[in-house]
A and B are shown apart, each in its own frame.
Chain A
Amino acid sequence: MTSKATTQRIAFLVLRLSALAMIVAVFALLGYLVWNGAPVLSLQFLLESPREGMSAGGVFPAIVGTFYLTLLTLALALPLGVAAAIYLSEYADPRRSKTLYLIRTATVVLAGIPSIVYGLLGLGLFVLFLRLGFSILSSALTLSFLTLPVIVSASEEALRTVPMSYREGALALGATKWQVVRDAVLPFAVPGILTACILGLARAAGETAPILLTGAAYYLPELPNSIFDQFMALPFHIFALSTQSVNPKLTRPIQFGSVLVLLLLVLSLNVIAIVIRSYYRRKYRRAAG
């Protein structure tokens, strides 16, 4: 009996230590990046262009580029993603339909395709075949494919959390199916769809490999004027400065600063998404219960 208790004590200790190691890794990683990046961050760093051959100045053009890129990506992926989610949650009969199986499998496959493969597609299809050139548009189209599965699954989840009684109530009042979806389902799924948007934005903002092949530039003297221009972007900026520049050691502080800006951007988007989601989940659980 004692040996049983001892085994359990040792086993639980191992379990606890491995979880602890994981948490320590999170803190070590974030702590290291914040510790080294924080001294560089300032309003000036955010609002200035790079100077002296990228060895001084800030990251303003890269922030602007990332902003344009993610917004355009979202504008392209959101309508398609939400429409797809409406079909999956409101129209598709879950009990039969081979197409439904096909669509679900395709969504899983899309989510698993490496980002560099999306980059290849973007280069071949958008940049060269459709002659859109190295541009914000080519990159955004590529990223919209990549973020589509994120948006579809988050929006579908949002639609499904709307209580069935809302639909039944509207149907009983004589609304047609689309009227029900439009007036009794979509308005209540808006916060969830917002979560989907934010997660999509965060994903698009952090991707490097696809934009590397479709339009990101190392340095541009001017901000992009149209969606057919090349652009600077935060993740590519970090990659280029730390590996492609003449003396990467010299610009380390700028690299740490850029990393922290990107990290804060992406993580805060994720935190916002989680907060919105948990708030509305609780709210509807009450409404449904």
Chain B
Amino acid sequence: MEGEQGRWQEVNTTHSLIRPRRRFREWILERVFWAAAFASVLIVVLIFAFLLSNGLQAFREIDLIGFLTGTIWQPVSEEPKYGLVPMLTGSLLVTGLSIALSVPISILCATYLSQVASPAVREIAKPMIEMLAAVPSVVYGFVALVIIADMIQSAFHNPIRLNALNASVVLTLMVAPTIVSISEDAISSVPQEYKEAALALGASKWEMISKVVLPSSLSGIFVAVMLGIGRAIGETMAVLMAAGNAAVVTFNPLASVETMTAVIAIEMGEVTFNSTHFYALFAVGVVLFVFTLVINLVAQVIVRRYKALGR
């Protein structure tokens, strides 16, 4: 099939037997389609260049080291301070917690759907879980604000209503479908021969799953977790509405924190355009962009490697 596909895509569009005007149209259209596909590359470059050119202007007034290591973010005061560390720790705390909460249950769930559940159960359950991924983030934020916050507050007798744990719990719901869906695909793609060989050696079904299937789908599961982290770190509305938004350096899950995404969303609305504060928010955007870029590229490289192994 691969070979045949190659042949179709290589069809000569400018053969000399094609009438010149038609040949010209073929030639033009192929370039138009190529340009449209290449637009994605241009957009990525555009976004990065644009963020960078704006972000860098912040460093005419603040210094880069101070920005990356400063622990105080006070852009509107007599002596403005632009320290990114509170947002870095905020993002890491919320993301880390939500990944810790969502990874175990998501992988167990994916294993169940792929190896244990009957096809009928899988056909119903998988789309249902994937439906969680379609729910808009503002709805999750709303749920966190209205009910999850109260549940956490009464469970921990915590005076602070909106906190990092609240954001993490709601992020868990948002990230889980991504991890379930991708790792279910990875677990299901383990070749049948591996499983048959394990069973033929006298393994029980669980031994087959735990000693053969899961280890050989580890790279796919890893990709799923990476993409989950990417989604969690970039999530804006839900975290903004749930986490309380206090720019303090803390690793206490029951304290209010502010993430990089939230600080941009909140302060961009009140900032004077083209001020240092404005550019500093673009600089936060650059950091965020680089984080997600690295996460996605690593995931992409792993996907490529195990696809190459499969063939």
CA distance A45 to B117 in the complex (A): 43
Chain A CB within 8 A of B196 CB: no
Q: Are A23 and B128 in contact (CB under 8 A)?
A: yes
- In the complex, the answer to whether A206 meets B105 with C-beta atoms within 8 Å is no
Rounded to whole angstroms, the CA-CA distance of A159 and B303 in the bound complex is 23
Tell whether, in the assembled complex, residue B264 and residue A106 are in contact, meaning their CB atoms are under 8 Å apart: no
- Distance between B173 CB and nearest chain A CB, rounded to angstroms: 6
- Is B65 located at the chain interface by the 8 A CB criterion? no
Hey, which chain B residues are within 8 Å of A287, CB to CB? Answer: none
Query: Residues of A contacting B288 with CB < 8 Å?
Result: 114, 116-117
Contact partners of B22 in chain A: CB under 8 A: 176
Determine the chain B residues whose CB is within 8 A of the CB of A238 once the complex forms. 138-139, 142
The A-contacting residues of B in range 259-299, CB under 8 angstroms, are 261, 264-265, 268-269, 273, 281-282, 285, 288-289, 292-293, 295-297, 299
Give the nearest-CB partner of B33 in chain A: A87
- Is B99 on the interface with A (CB-CB < 8 A)? no
Interface residue from B10, B136, B204 paired with A5 (Cβ < 8 Å): B204
Provided the pairs A113-B289, A212-B269 are in contact, do residues A167 and B230 lie with their beta carbons within 8 angstroms?
no
B304 nearest CB across to chain A (Å): 9
**Neighbour of B297 across the interface among A105, A114, A267, CB < 8 A:** A105
Q: Which residue of A lies closest to B40 (CB)?
A: A106
Residue in chain B with minimal CB distance to A149: B40
Bound-state CA distance A19–B285 (Å) is 36
> Does B112 reach chain A (CB closer than 8 Å)?
yes
Q: State A267–B131 Cα separation when bound (angstroms).
A: 7
Q: How far is the CA of A88 from the CA of B5 in the complex (A)?
A: 12
Q: Is A178 an interface residue (CB 8 A)?
A: yes
Q: How far is the CB of A73 from chain B (nearest CB, A)?
A: 15
Check A289 for interface membership: any CB of B closer than 8 A. Answer: no
Give the bracket for the number of chain B residues in contact with chain A. Answer: 35 or more
Interface contact B292-A113, CB-CB below 8 Å: yes
Bitwise interface map of A from 265 to 286 toward B, beta carbon under 8 Å scored 1, else 0: 0110010001000000000000
> Which residues from B are CB-within-8-Å of A123?
268
Number of residues on chain A facing chain B (CB within 8 A): 91
> A99 to B108, Cβ gap below 8 A?
no
Residue in contact with B128 in the complex, picked from A26, A91, A202, A239, CB distance below 8 Å = A26
Chain A contacts for B112, CB-based, 8 A: 12, 15-16, 18-19
CB contact list, A174-213 vs B, under 8 A = 176-178, 180, 202, 205-209, 212-213
Tell me the nearest residue of chain A to B173, going by C-beta: A25
Say yes or no for A246: interface residue by CB 8 A criterion: no
**Distance in angstroms between the alpha carbons of A4 and B296 in the assembled complex:** 40
Q: Which of A5, A80, A106, A180 has the most CB of B within 10 A?
A: A106
Interface residue ranges of B9-34 to A (CB < 8 Å): 9-11, 13, 18, 22, 25-26, 29-30, 32-34
Interchain residue pairs with CB less than 8 A apart (27) = A4-B204, A8-B204, A15-B108, A19-B117, A83-B32, A87-B37, A91-B34, A95-B2, A99-B34, A103-B38, A103-B41, A106-B41, A107-B40, A108-B299, A109-B293, A112-B293, A114-B234, A114-B288, A116-B264, A116-B288, A148-B40, A176-B18, A209-B237, A209-B265, A235-B138, A236-B138, A243-B241
Residues of B within 8 A of A (CB): 1-2, 4-6, 8-11, 13, 18, 22, 25-26, 29-30, 32-34, 36-41, 43-44, 46-47, 50-51, 54, 104-106, 108-109, 111-113, 116-117, 125, 127-129, 131-132, 134-139, 141-143, 145-147, 173, 176, 180, 204-207, 209-210, 227, 230-231, 233-237, 241, 261, 264-265, 268-269, 273, 281-282, 285, 288-289, 292-293, 295-297, 299-300
